Amino acid sequence: MHEGAAVPAWALIAYLVAGVCFILALRGLSSPESAQRGNRFGIAGMAIAVLTTLVTHVPELVSPCPQPPGGWRICGPRESFHLDALVLVEILIAIAIGAAIGLVTARRIAMTAMPQLVAAFHSLVGLAAVLVAAAAYLNPEAFGIAVRITPIYGPSIVNILPVSRVEMGLGAAIGAITFSGSVIAFLKLNGNMSGKPILLPARHVINLATLALILGLIGWFTQDQAPWVFFTICGLSFLIGFLLIVPIGGADMPVVVSMLNSYSGWAAAAMGFTLHNTAMIVTGALVGSSGAILSYIMCRAMNRSFISVIAGGFGGDAVAAGGGAAIDRPWKRGSAEDAAFLMSQAEQVIIVPGYGMAVAQAQHALREMGDLLKKEGVTVKYAIHPVAGRMPGHMNVLLAEANVPYDEVFELEDINSEFARTDVAFVIGANDVTNPAAKTDKSSPIYGMPVLDVEKAKTVLFVKRSMGGVGYAGVDNELFYRDNTMMLLADAKKMVEEIVKALG
Amino acid sequence: MDFISILSIFVLACFVGYFVVWGVTPALHTPLMAVTNAISSVIIVGALIAAAAAGAAGAKWLGLLAVVLASVNIFGGFAVTARMLAMYKKKERR
């Protein structure tokens, strides 16, 4: 059997403890009060896992494999647990470099840029998984996944265990997909690449064929451990990650980011199988299911199937749907003063933020507006649609950054019934998630998507840059032409600042 | 550990993950992604093994590079999560 058993028992328990710490880290996120403690559990788990590995694997000297009688010998991790200073220093330097980059980035990053940061981090996990798989392939004995056969004549042969080859192949493939997919997601989110879907002809055929080829090669890998097999698996996986994400439009990015999150977990789990490491397997399963659940929540919030998101192509050119010619229909325009007056007279105002608020960085001005309204005795609440923004929970973080108390921020299902009892709904930078056509117009591409019932409020104030643009789904919004809607056409931040001035 | 024990751990952990993640409040979904990102860098364990092992120079360098990448993620992920979580405040009761 396998030499994973050569890892001492205390180390196995330590890895288990690390795994439990990671579970507690996620558990902490069930409420904002316990979340910070959860994060500390996560840090503790990681420290335990890293220290355990260092203590058990940094050698004093290269010790030869034990040689049982007969021609066979089985090599595993060394059993000497003294630390080699040079190796340790090299590793600590590597950690220090990573830590410096990570900490500086974490401190400097703007909260609005969180989706691209997360995408970038995913790509690193993916690439790390590929590198670990490649290292395990090149030095399988160090990972205890090989059998060395020493014939009487000729050089000895190192055979990687077939199970490990599958695990390693899968780990490398998922890691590579995560890497290249996340790089594309990053470029799209960061604006280096158009958010519009790029559609290749026959892309479904190409993608499916490539996937089949990768799986076939992983099967082949169990029979033949030649380098070309392993590295072709890696190469094709990098390619498929790129091909999979390129056709997906900007509005579907919340699903993509969650999906890549999931993949990075499965990559870690696959490597955990290779290393027989409990911490990695538990973490991989946690992260994998977390990303999968988030993708599911995002898809449900858009009333789209996961397959249709992955197939891509959504959110491209504007499709004229529902409501006829947009430009000809009458609509009302309001000023900042009108908005300020209406809201200060209201009993309750619900603010509906969307991606446009993030782009305009209007969250701080918005909170100031909320504070002034509260001073006037107005109840101010925030309504968040699950897919508002470019990643799950994006709006919540921005509002938290602007010091909006989290108990004023509500999810769709908790607040939707309140719009009917609300005087003013203030929509800022959101569009599709407020479109009543999703409830009524069967021909609309967003039909069936759960939306915020803003039109039920007595007055809707809709902040938008111009009347020309449509939401990411490319659908005209019914709401603009309603009698109770007043359009506030300006940059979101400027408009809110003017309202603040008018209120003050 | 044999393959079946490992598979059992994995399957049970998937269920734990399923229930724990459904318990996460939607307001914290962004920190959830950041922290899952950080913990998935536990893959550093594999990187450390490769970096510490003697015998294959190529594997060692790949390992060290993976240690750097995973460390960026670990430190960056936990730090940015902590930064986000520190911003979530309750309404001041007066």
User: Helix axis angle, A32-57 relative to A278-302, nearest 10°?
Assistant: 150
pTM of the model: 0.87
Is residue B7 pLDDT above 50, yes or no? yes
Helices A203-223 + A162-189 axis angle, to 10: 150
Strand A72-73, strand A485-489: pairing: unpaired
Most B CBs within 10 Å, among A51, A132, A261, A367, to test the B interface: A132
pLDDT at A313: 63
Overall size of chain A counted in residues: 504
Instruction: Choose the closest CB to A139 out of B56, B78, B88.
Output: B56
Please count the residues of chain B.
94
What is the percent of chain A where pLDDT is above 70? 89
Burial group, residue A395, by CB count within 10 angstroms (0-12, 13-18, 19+): buried
Whole-angstrom distance, CA of residue A476 vs CA of residue B75: 44
d(CA A235, CA B63): 19
Confidence of residue A262 (pLDDT cuts 50, 70, 90): very high
Mean pLDDT for A169-187 is 95
Query: Are the C-beta atoms of A131 and B69 separated by less than 8 Å?
Result: yes
Catalytic (active site) residue A252: no
Residue of chain A with shortest Cα separation from B16: A286
Q: At what angle do helices B44-52 and A32-57 cross, to 10 degrees?
A: 20
Q: How far is A466 from chain B (nearest CA, A)?
A: 30
**What is d(CA A270, CA A325) in angstroms, rounded to the nearest whole number?**
53
The one-letter amino acid code at B29 reads: H
Q: What is the reported pLDDT for A395?
A: 93
Task: Check B42 against A129: CB less than 8 A apart.
Answer: no
Most confident of A207-221, A307-321, A474-488: A207-221
Indicate whether A348 pLDDT > 50: yes
A426-469 pLDDT, tens per residue?
999 888 889 888 888 888 878 888 999 999 999 999 998 887 66
Give the residues across from A426 on adjacent strands. A351, A461
Q: Which residue of B has its CA nearest to A117?
A: B34
Spatial CA neighbour of B3 closest among A265, A166, A56, A262: A166
> What is the model's pLDDT at position A77?
52
Question: What pLDDT score does B92 carry?
Answer: 64
Q: Return the C-alpha torsion angle A356, A362, A364, A367, nearest 10.
A: -70
Q: How far is Cα of residue A128 from the mean position of the Cα atoms in its chain? A: 17
Range with lowest mean pLDDT among A13-27, A115-129, B45-59: B45-59
How many Cα atoms occupy the beta-carbon half-sphere of B30 within 13 Å? Answer: 32
Q: How confident is the model at residue A82 (pLDDT cuts 50, 70, 90)?
A: very low
Residues of chain A above pLDDT 90, percent: 56
Q: For residue A161, give the nearest of A142, A139, A144, A138 by alpha carbon.
A: A144
Mean pLDDT of A52-65: 70
For residue range A62-79, what is the model confidence (pLDDT) as tens digits?
445 555 555 444 455 544
ipTM associated with this complex: 0.95
